[in-house]
Structure 1
Amino acid sequence: MRPFEEIVTEYGPMVLRVCRAVLGPQDAEDAWSETFLAALKAYPDLPPGANVEAWLVTVAHRKAIDVTRASARRPVPVEALPERPSRVGRPEEWDGDLWRALGALPVRQRQAVVYHYLAGLPYKEIAALHGGSTDAARRAAADGIKTLRTTYPRPAEQREVAR
């Protein structure tokens, strides 16, 4: 098996080009480094006669995906945070039954319902907070609302029960 230093020397420029093409110049060097760190660990287990170039491109591609995902989760700097004043007060001051019904929801559903319906965040921002997709955030909120409708009585139902 060839020394790993030779592999880096021979294929390093090609891997850097792949990283730059996928990520752009800002994140390419980090992905390049991550590629060769991962490759160094896996190199001793590489079968003899394996296509080293194709293997390194695959590793670089996966590292580029990791960098893309990590950057999508990073907060975006803004000059000032928008003020979103509360219109309903503190959660402890809400109807206790509603508070218990919200608390009984699975975490993702509860957060999606609270972030969308109480904080007014769009599903795209909820997805960014959770690290999932916009559709998953929308689905979680819809499932949470559906559960609340079955477990929490509507005001008209409360009046009928009180009679």
Structure 2
Amino acid sequence: MAREKVLLPPFQALVDAHWRDVARLARALAGPVDGDDVAQRAWEKAFTAYPGLTSAKNLRSWLLTITAHCATDIHRARKPQRPLDDAPPIAVDGPEAADWPDPDLWQAVNALPERQRFAVTLKYVGDLDHHGVAAALDTTPAASRRLVSDALATLRTKLGVEDD
């Protein structure tokens, strides 16, 4: 059975339409220091995978999922490995909350567990629905809702915001 050819827009049209979304999400997930690197890596991966796509449906969500995966890779690479007994400790710095508008909020977001932080950022910075968040995090929409809900509850508590 031959695979049907999918009509995709030129890759440059995709970049022109979505570069701001990718850059914004990359900075939100990886911070101002690594955000540009994450965005660049996401575009490289997207460019490589683009000719093999089997659907042109929801390319924005596809790009943001790639961006989230690249940010996850940065966070995993940043985690310190088990140090050697005689080696001095290595400091590993994350994004500085003070570099963002509303530093108290971003400091609280940075303190969230990784999956909650990614879920809430994909939802509110990436503007993905729960299906898109679920696809980016390799989970279900119900689990996505729960991650976002738990993250928001933690943020409300830490920031002293009361529910209306």
TM-score > 0.5 by shorter chain: no
TM-score class normalised by the smaller sequence: 0.3 to 0.5
Which of the pair is proportionally richer in helix? 1
TM-score, structure 2 as length reference: 0.44
Where relative contact order (Cα < 8 A, 6+ residues apart) is larger, the structure is 2
State which structure, 1 or 2, has the greater radius of gyration over its C-alpha atoms: 1
TM-score, structure 1 as length reference: 0.44
